[in-house]
Structure 1
């Protein structure tokens, strides 16, 4: 469990017209049969910096990204709308999208509690629609120091910026963190059906997790009835582990360890994703959406070193493991929507997806003199 030590946040906005912060705000939601509207004044007590801070305080609502572990795009639609439209698909998390919107740019949040034809529920019982005002250029940043369970202090920061370039709306963000934790595990090994204690173990672990993420979104009209949305995301990360294991004789627990093992590794990886969506309205009843998703993940594990020592002998051997993993996904989804009247809507869709995984695992042994590769049956 992490504990908050220090947090600094800020939001800046540039606009052609300035209004007071309290103008048009209410403290209580305005209710209708199907929609509950929460004006920004309702969230002022929570001192929100971004739209994510506001959504987390929305009564009776829990943010869900859908099933984004499956291949393709069909089940990856969450329960969030931005100005009546889904802001992303499988590429960007909803937390990322909301974290890029300054609270000052939010006009209100609507909680949709019934299926309405103008909102595609996608199987969700409720939707949250964040209505965002065009305030020119705006940005937000946050910086947090967090304490881990082992009293290690790690920083976390986020910066986002939204602007307009001609008729195109552009949003960018950059965030990263450095998290390290230390743990200790004590184990006991029994034999003879659990009646005889044969060994005690002490394991100490230290790991470090350091990701850096960036995202980019652009929404631009291509005519009176056509628009293009482009989402892009990139991430690079490093994960480091140092693990010590000591084995003791239970008959003499205060003695030196009878065996010692050290495992250490540094893994790193990167991934990038891009997804353009072309929307077109044929008339008041018919519209279409074409979405392409391209994802590429690269992970390099190791080398993992597992070195072993024994009392009175010294170094007795080591094993080394290396792994390379490449994952790719390309998906194309086409939908056509028909709204025959104000109470009904019907969507036709088709999708194709191509997924692949390329894995390479290598094992070596080290007897102190030579390093030998082990042939694996896979």
Structure 2
């Protein structure tokens, strides 16, 4: 059986190991304009020993923004900022994918010049998002009830994703990952509880999956299937999306995506967010539905990753908060070195503290 520390062919690229960095919102982009900056470059370069870095969620348009100071990939300045990061990651020997993101109803009108937020349907999200307060610091505010995207707007949404993939290629990324998970826009269309439409994008499971698959096809058309992955979270509650049919929906889209011969399917498991531990019966069903590489993420440590690799249920493991605190995580796992403690209070927003000041093993 392969180990975490062996290479893996993932679409058009060969990863040096199977320890991936999961996409992690950190809210350090430069306002105004949500431009990737030198501090972000240092952060990603520090973690370039990952088999693959998956970038933080990167909004495909201003409409897709859901949190303050998250980077975009829809303006020339943003593309140039990302190019400085990808060039530096490559110089450090790393590989990096851009996660393409539209948050849908998990947002606030103040992030869109007062325009209402959008979703599959006008279903409230009874929770909060993060905006800049009057003192300039992050503050949590309730999300307003979104408006439903009109039928004639959906081709424009697909085009926003397609254009973001073009921009990611120009910015020097090795791959792109479509964010179809965690209660964001594409998941809002897929989930039965957030999609109450009565047109061809609502009702049946095939209809609810239509936008996700059209987006994937648009992104593939902008680049190629072997440069495209997608993240899904079929089981568990994320950002107010419960999706009572989530298990079935996950297998349906996994099979449909498998027909497209994508670079990878990224499975976000529910236990990282306090949900149940995913059982192996579902993993086996997912493996049967999707013939391509599967990346597992969610509460992973070395033991969990190796067990699932040995069982053939995943091909690589993505680590999130552990990678925040341990920039040299692949080495620490390989040599069974102790891990730095995490500092959750500095996960979101701020400066270098809790971002680029975690030491490698043996450093001061």
Compute the TM-score of the two structures, normalised by the length of structure 2.
0.22
Give 1 or 2: higher strand fraction: 1
Of structures 1 and 2, the one scoring higher in RCO (CA 8 A, sep 6+) is 2
- What TM-score does the superposition give when structure 1 sets the normalisation length? 0.22
